[in-house]
Amino acid sequence: MSVDAVQDSDRVPSGTSVPRVIFSRAEALLVSPRNGILWTVDGADGSTLDSSVVLSLSGEIVLGATGLARHSQTGTVYALLKLLGVSTRELVTLDVETGVTTSVGNTGDKFASITFGSDGTLYGITGDGATSPQSLYSSSTTTAAATLLTSRGTPVEEVTDGEALGFNPTDGLLIEAQESVRSIRPRSSRRSIPAHSRSSTCHCQASTMKN
């Protein structure tokens, strides 16, 4: 099974905390909601190959990143950024060599993870701290506008950003991990929400993943 965004907390450089990961055969790219560093680690043993690349977005201070995914058709890398003074997540494209990002748009909620389907559809899932928590969306790669696909409803446990999302090209199912792991078959959308302007208030939530 090939999954392009997974959680593997036992093979993470110190200080990354709940990483979002892109795997290739030789190496993995990791980001963390706790800092603005793009890590490159060995895909076999998890050893750090590079931690010198710092994420940046013109005019903004990057606090960390909650999502990372490579477009299944174009190879472009997308990320979800946590920005200083902004309560919701910014969808960006990322130059993995320099760390420079380019804004696609604000997602309008606290998205915790993203992944691409084999057809190039971008999927995103919100964390427990979101206005619409634990909700799965398809998102525009040009405006960041999100279309609701399904929602698990309001969480009953403590507020976190702990969600991970991946895609299995073998069976076409999405894979969600939080307290447990489950497969999701994307279905027709229920409603659309436009791209949002950035909020001026930051209500940052701790990002943790329960094993």
Question: Which residue reads 């999405």 in tokens?
Answer: 174
Mean predicted confidence (pLDDT) in 105-134 = 92
Contact indicator for 27, 37 with CB cutoff of 8 Å = no
3-state secondary structure 76-133: CEEEEEEECCCCCCEEEEECCCCCEEEEEEECCCCEEEEEECCCCCEEEEECCCCCCC
> Using one digit for the tens of pLDDT, what is the confidence trace for 59-107?
999 999 999 999 999 999 999 999 999 999 999 999 999 999 999 999 9
Q: What percent of the chain lies above the pLDDT cut of 70?
A: 67
pLDDT tens readout for residues 13-28: 444 444 566 656 578 8
pTM: 0.76
Q: Bigger pLDDT: 183 or 102?
A: 102
Q: What are phi and psi of 16, to 5 degrees?
A: -75, -45
| 45: three-class secondary structure by DSSP | coil
Q: Which of 110, 106, 120 minimizes the C-alpha distance to 4?
A: 120
* % residues pLDDT > 90 (the chain): 48
Report which of residues 194 and 148 the model is more confident about: 148
Instruction: Judge whether residue 4 has pLDDT over 50.
Output: no
Of the spans 88-92, 164-168, 170-174, which averages the highest pLDDT? 88-92
Domains of the chain: 54-193 (2.130.10.10)
pLDDT at 187: 59
